[in-house]
Structure 1
Amino acid sequence: MAESQVEKLQQQLEHLTKRLDKVENEAEVRKLHHKYGYYLDKCLYKQVVDLFADHPDTYVEFLGGRYRGKGGVRRLYIDRFQNNFVKGRNGPIHGFLLDHAMLQDIIDVDASGERAFGRWRALMSAGVHRSIADKHPRGHDAQGRPRQWWEGGVYENEYIKEDGVWKIFKYRYFAFWHGEHADGWALTRENYVPFANTTYPDDQFGPDELVKQRLLWPDTRCVPFHYPHPVTRLHVDEDDLRAPEFGEDVNTAEPALSLSDH
């Protein structure tokens, strides 16, 4: 075989290897996030925390706050969620529903193969069965009925490899609509879920820092996309991500949301 043919085959092999690595990395990130969802569904918060990177810049951005480092992640999932939802247990409790469907994933792995970006849609069904409504802190709605609610949100996350294993690095969840099962979403009160307003340690379950961007229905601003348009290769203009009142000038609307760390 001629030397030029061997060189060409080597180049093809390198190219195919890179493509295969990219596909495998995308698959691993997809599995990581879906596994996160399955653990979260059943209140397996210890397992959730272990999915996050040990990197000092790791964080969770959630409802107006950032929980920084593995300690901040643990404070949110173990100290806050585990204590509030399942009274300190790691695992499900009878009669409490917390079901997350993870949908429409778009995953991009960078050229290094060590970092990835993922956008996902979450659709959550949650609530309590009437048999535990009198005991559970989320047991009843404003009308005294066993509480049932929906939530829709978008993740714009970053993932990194640590020692060859993909982990969640920068987690940004925007829970942008809620609705009670009985009333739907047209009657949802504003600020349905309270935003963080006090940081740790003044709030023992609070975030390490507060963030200005806050998004809840009926606010319909668009969560920015980590990727450019697939045809034009352009990012969406910031003004087009805003949501003015019907017929009003865009400059009257809240500022565009951001994926920046600052």
Structure 2
Amino acid sequence: MGSEVAELKKLVESLSKEVTRLADEGEIKKLHFKYGYYLDKCLYQEVVDLFADNPDTFVEFIGGRYRGREGVQRLYIGRFAGNFVKGRNGPVHGFLLDHAQMQDIVDITPDGNHAKGRFRALMSAGTHKSIQDTHPRGFVQWWEGGVYENEYIKENGVWKIWKLKYFPFWHADFARGWSNKEIGEFIPLDTKAYPESPLGPDEIVEQLMLWPDTRVIPFHYPHPVTGKMVKEDDLRAPEYGKDVSTALPALTLAETVKKL
């Protein structure tokens, strides 16, 4: 009888841990999807409030890393709100930013207080012709595809975004599509850090990829069957028929800083 009770206790404990893990995965997925919905409508204050109040919090975005809540606020409220909606919190008539978030993979660490997540983003964006003379972007339409490889942290029992890394790996306008997009036809990349650049990142990131670069954004997780990570050389993208040694180095999820 005693052994049966002990076995039942173990089973209950195991099931309790599994229920907690599944609940945490669901909360993190909802957290990231809510991030996308807020971002869609330029609700940048709500976006900032999703981030952890932690000294290691950051956002990595197109060549720059914005550190801490101050850096996160500088990016979303200072830069994005200032450029897209003239500083207001919320949308402006005729400006479109739709970030569909999908293919979510979330893994909780054994301590139950940290997690990693990979999401694919597909964005359609632009301005309506009726505002081409009043909006600073003029008349523009574009598609964008990218991948998030994020880290999350539980603060006071609430899951928050801790380290957000967004890799926008292709970009295209509607008229010409992605095949005709030139390498330099993207938003201006950061070359100066804060405070030299008032709305710039705290650090310039060493690695950067832009279409037609097709390197693999590294996976935070091992292969579900073999248990192995993808080989570094297999993350690279040589030109057709050429040896992998001729290709750019593999991307990394580790934090890198460019020496200026």
Q: Give the TM-score band, short-chain normalised.
A: over 0.9
Aligned match for 1:171, one of 138, 161, 164: 164
Q: CA deviation at 1:261?
A: 2.1
Alpha-carbon distance in structure 2 between the residues aligned to 1:193 and 1:250 = 29
1:186-218 Cα offsets, whole Å, 9 max, x none, are: 111103232211000010010000111101101
Alpha-carbon distance in structure 2 between the residues aligned to 1:223 and 1:196 = 21
Query: Runs of 4+ in structure 1 displaced over 6 angstroms?
Result: none
Q: Does 1:43 align with 2:36?
A: no
Alpha-carbon distance in structure 1 between the residues aligned to 2:3 and 2:227 = 36
Equivalent position of 1:190 in the other structure: 183
Alpha-carbon distance in structure 2 between the residues aligned to 1:212 and 1:97 = 31
Equivalent position of 1:204 in the other structure: 198
1:19-168 matches, cutoff 5 A: 19-139=18-138, 146-168=139-161
Aligned match for 2:250, one of 235, 244, 256: 256
Q: 3-state DSSP class of the match of 1:201?
A: coil
Equivalent position of 2:219 in the other structure: 225
TM-score (norm 1): 0.96
Q: CA deviation at 1:154?
A: 0.2
Alpha-carbon distance in structure 2 between the residues aligned to 1:251 and 1:135 = 49
Q: 3-state DSSP class of the match of 1:103?
A: strand
Bigger Cα displacement from structure 2, 247-256 vs 151-160: 247-256
Report the AA paired with residue 223 of structure 2. H
In structure 2, stretches of 5+ residues that fail to align are none
In structure 1, stretches of 5+ residues that fail to align are 140-145
Alpha-carbon distance in structure 1 between the residues aligned to 2:123 and 2:137 = 15
Alpha-carbon distance in structure 1 between the residues aligned to 2:238 and 2:187 = 22
Alpha-carbon distance in structure 2 between the residues aligned to 1:216 and 1:193 = 11
Q: CA deviation at 1:13?
A: 0.3
Q: CA deviation at 1:164?
A: 0.5
Alpha-carbon distance in structure 1 between the residues aligned to 2:249 and 2:134 = 41
| Identity over aligned pairs, percent | 63
Equivalent position of 1:143 in the other structure: none
Report the AA paired with residue 153 of structure 1. G
Corresponding pairs, count: 255
Report the AA paired with residue 189 of structure 1. E
Q: Does 1:237 align with 2:231?
A: yes
Bigger Cα displacement from structure 2, 247-256 vs 42-51: 247-256
